Amino acid sequence: MKILGLSFGKKNANCDILTKEALYGAREAYPDAEIKFINTQRLNIGRCIGCGACSTALEKGKDNNCIIKDDFQMLENEVRAADAIIVAAPVYVLQPVGQFKDFVDRFSCRHDVSAINWVLDKRRSGEMPGNPDEFPQERLKRRTVSYISVGGASTENWTSMGTASLHLFGFPAMMQVVANYNAYSMGTVANPYLDDELIERMHEIGKRTAAAFEMNSEDVEFYAPQGTGTCPVCHQNLLTVNGTTTVECPICGIEGKIAINGDKLEVTFSEEQQARARGTFKGLREHTTEIQGFGAICAPKIMANKELLDEKMDRIKNFEKYIEA
């Protein structure tokens, strides 16, 4: 088994410590596992430029590597090779540090299990070029993952989108989430080694993330020492409200119903909704279908309004000329 620890924090600082302790936990349970740790801070990972080269290549029967050449490819290869992954990122202004999102943006679309299978099915039926069996299968392999969010503030709300945003790492690739942990208040803890319970929990996370890889998905129990959360799928406490009794989990994109019971807010997500969460094949397929439908909707609109759009777009392309006129 290959276990990977990724820290997006400073060298030898809190994220490194918590990730490495989780890896020590995994080592205790799996003496023969291949364990690797990477600190990303000094890596050069540029942003996704939205060029679409990866999707175009895939649809032409080729591999879907990113065309930007920097340290991303190395990190992506490590994630692809891993079976069980521990990801820790510091909260910078309420969310994981930007480098984490830059990695996610370039990783996620190209590992969307539904989108890849959509193309592979078209290759099998001959509708698209390319041999489906030649497509690198590690894109679609099963992986387990756990997330650790690290924040300095002692007020938990200063880390409000930390753990939730970490879930963006694995859902397109349908990684099975074993645990997430909000290690906030590092400003008062001073050093993780001064909090025995925290270190113990990291060992448990490491052990469980590795163990889960060897188990059937259905038998894996989410490890929730800080509570199981409101959404039964991602176990986060964020909700999108719209003035009705229907709410949404912004991570999973599923609907729940709210009810007030005394001073308690109850949120119920039906089995049907849970089955279409963003990190399931069904949820991802809904999005693939949506995206594949854009062309049929937009092409006639653009053709019918070509002159108007050409004129309007001139205002955008020559902005400096128009704004001073």
Q: What's the rounded Cα separation, in Å, for the pair 232 and 69?
A: 39
Closest CB to ligand FMN among residues 24, 92: 92
Which residues, at least 6 apart from 123, have a Cβ–Cβ distance to it below 8 Å? 61, 129, 130, 131, 132, 135
Closest CB to ligand FMN among residues 135, 184: 184
Minimum Å gap between C-beta 234 and ligand FMN is: 21
Minimum Å gap between C-beta 12 and ligand FMN is: 9
Whether residue 19 contacts residue 183, with contact meaning beta carbons closer than 8 Å, is answered with no
Q: What's the rounded Cα separation, in Å, for the pair 248 and 232?
A: 12
Minimum Å gap between C-beta 110 and ligand FMN is: 27
Query: Parallel, antiparallel, or unpaired: how do β-strands 264-268 and 95-96 relate?
Result: unpaired
**Given the structure tokens 């849970």, which residue do they identify?**
274
Interface contacts to ligand FMN, rule CB under 6 A: 9-10, 13-15, 90-94, 150-153, 158-159, 184, 186
Minimum Å gap between C-beta 242 and ligand FMN is: 27
Closest CB to ligand FMN among residues 149, 288: 149
Closest CB to ligand FMN among residues 16, 83: 16
Minimum Å gap between C-beta 156 and ligand FMN is: 9
The CA angle 202-208-212, to the nearest 5 degrees, is 150
**Given the structure tokens 């959509």, which residue do they identify?**
118
Q: Is 148 exposed, middle or buried (0-12, 13-18, 19+ CB in 10 A)?
A: buried
Give the type of residue at 212: A
Closest CB to ligand FMN among residues 159, 176: 159
Closest CB to ligand FMN among residues 7, 176: 7
Minimum Å gap between C-beta 88 and ligand FMN is: 7
Closest CB to ligand FMN belongs to which residue? Answer: 9
Q: Which residues pair with 241 in a beta bridge?
A: 247
